[in-house]
Chain A
Amino acid sequence: KNEVEQSPQNLTAQEGEFITINCSYSVGISALHWLQQHPGGGIVSLFMLSSGKKKHGRLIATINIQEKHSSLHITASHPRDSAVYICADYEKLTFGTGTRLTIIP
């Protein structure tokens, strides 16, 4: 089993701030996934990462395979970014406990 840990568990920030959410895992993987869970409960995929960096709009995800660590960044954060962000290892079907992000206008 892969131990997947996220930090912080909760994060509150002002609109416009740069946000960083961290994910570390214990067993080497070929790809890591980032998910977003909306306040209503729906879960959607954001990124699949096997190396380097990916960018989608204001979201950037990076991964360091050697250090077993990934980060999710949000630039110019907005209240609509408020959600729970989850990292996941789909090979071993294990998930982090999630980071609850709240952006205050």
Chain B
Amino acid sequence: NAGVTQTPKFQVLKTGQSMTLQCAQDMNHNSMYWYRQDPGMGLRLIYYSASEGTTDKGEVPNGYNVSRLNKREFSLRLESAAPSQTSVYFCASSEESYNEQFFGPGTRLTVL
């Protein structure tokens, strides 16, 4: 089992470019999450999907969109990247909401 996988691991974008961060899990989990981690801020929730077919905004959703493509995959899209979106992005999954979460390895994104 690969657990939670994320691609890419690193990405550099110019202001205004768009990109999609991919996340997949092979644990048959219902719930999936996207977080960003900034120095001194801790993990902050961007969007989550409690189950296939549903998505909800978290604490910092502005500038992002998500798609729960199927039970396995949950993607995060930046339509027009801004330097304030420079961060490390983590995807996570859990069997159900409130359960233990399993994290992907993270994507380090720099927006110039």
Contacts and interface: CB of A to CB of B under 8 A. Distances in A.
B101 A45 contact: yes
A88 B84 CA distance: 24
Contacts of A41: 88, 105-106
B42 A86 contact: yes
B98 A91 contact: yes
A98 to B, nearest CB: 6
Contacts, number: 45
Interface string A29-70: 011010000000111110010000000000000000000000
A91 to B, nearest CB: 5
Question: Which of A45, A88, A90 has its CB near the most chain B CB atoms (within 10 A)?
Answer: A90
B99 interface: yes
A96 B98 contact: no
A59 B98 CA distance: 23
A96 B42 contact: yes
A41 B48 CA distance: 21
B74 interface: no
A97 interface: yes
Interface string A82-98: 00001010110111111
Contacts of B94: 90
Interface residues of A, number: 21
A97 B58 contact: no
B59 to A, nearest CB: 8
A41 B103 CA distance: 10
A49 B84 CA distance: 35
A86 B101 contact: no
Contacts of B44: 95
Nearest to A44: B103
B45 interface: yes
Nearest to B102: A45
Contacts of A94: 45, 59
Contacts of A4: 42
Interface of B: 33, 40-45, 48, 58-59, 88, 90, 92, 94, 97-103, 105-106
